[in-house]
Amino acid sequence: MIQPRRRAVLCAALLAVCTGLSACDSLSQPRSDRPETARNFPRADRPVAPIISTRWSTEEDRDRVNEANDIMNLAGIKPGMTVADIGAGEGYYTVRLAKRVGARGRVLAQDIIAEVIDQLGRRVTKENWANVSVKLGSEDDPKLPEASFDRVFMIHMYHEISEPYAFLWRLYPALKPDGEIIVVDTDRPTGQHGTPPLLLRCEFEAIGFRFVGLTARTAAGGYLARFTPGRKRVDPSEIVACRVKR
């Protein structure tokens, strides 16, 4: 079961009781280990999986089970769309999305590792994907242009986002009014490279996204969840961190 946790209120109450006592310093949230641009947002109240590899299977093996086509079909990818591939890695989805959206469409491939983006840029150039561009993001900001995307793909990477509330808050404006975020992940703890669907939904809804639906057992493994912009984006000061009740 997912429950909101009002950490700020609790800490304020405890600090008020302990005013003047040095022991209360330990109640303060350590801030030096977070990007300054993320400090107005709640910290993720669950483990964050480390980025251990940009590849979990060969492209040939993934095509053998029709992975990309299955996910693109479920996501409703059509010619002429503009799509972002977040955590693009070596570009498995990037190039297949580029082929699906065609010359009238666009694909923006994003990653937070400079070396990965450089390598992907070389692949895009070598394979002459004229409708693809690459972008270096950061752990708390995808750095996407506003009101630009019909779909944003986040494939088996959500559990690696260390600042999900800041990241999702800054991702929200990038969608067109009828755009969708497509998340593919596995139903297991975030520390084990998955995200429980209820936790995923809670974190997205904490920002103001609207949950559209979930498809289980995709060709990519795990589930596919869909989100659209809600009525408004929640102010950072009003975001309440989600947690899994243990």
| Residues 159 and 189 sit within 8 Å (Cβ to Cβ) | no
User: Looking at residue 53, what is its pLDDT?
Assistant: 58
Give the tokens for residue 75. 């996501």
* 11 has a pLDDT exceeding 70: no
Q: What is the mean pLDDT of residues 18-31?
A: 37
The sheet that has 209-216: what strands, in order across it?
132-136, 106-111, 82-86, 149-155, 175-185, 223-229, 209-216
CA 41/CA 34 separation, integer angstroms: 10
Q: Which of 199, 174, 225 is nearest to 44 (CA)?
A: 199
In a 13 Å sphere around the CA of 209, the CA atoms on its Cβ side amount to 31
Can you spell out the DSSP letters for 137-180? -BTTB--PPTT-EEEEEEES-GGG-S-HHHHHHHHGGGEEEEEE
pLDDT tens-digit readout, 144-160: 999 999 999 999 999 99
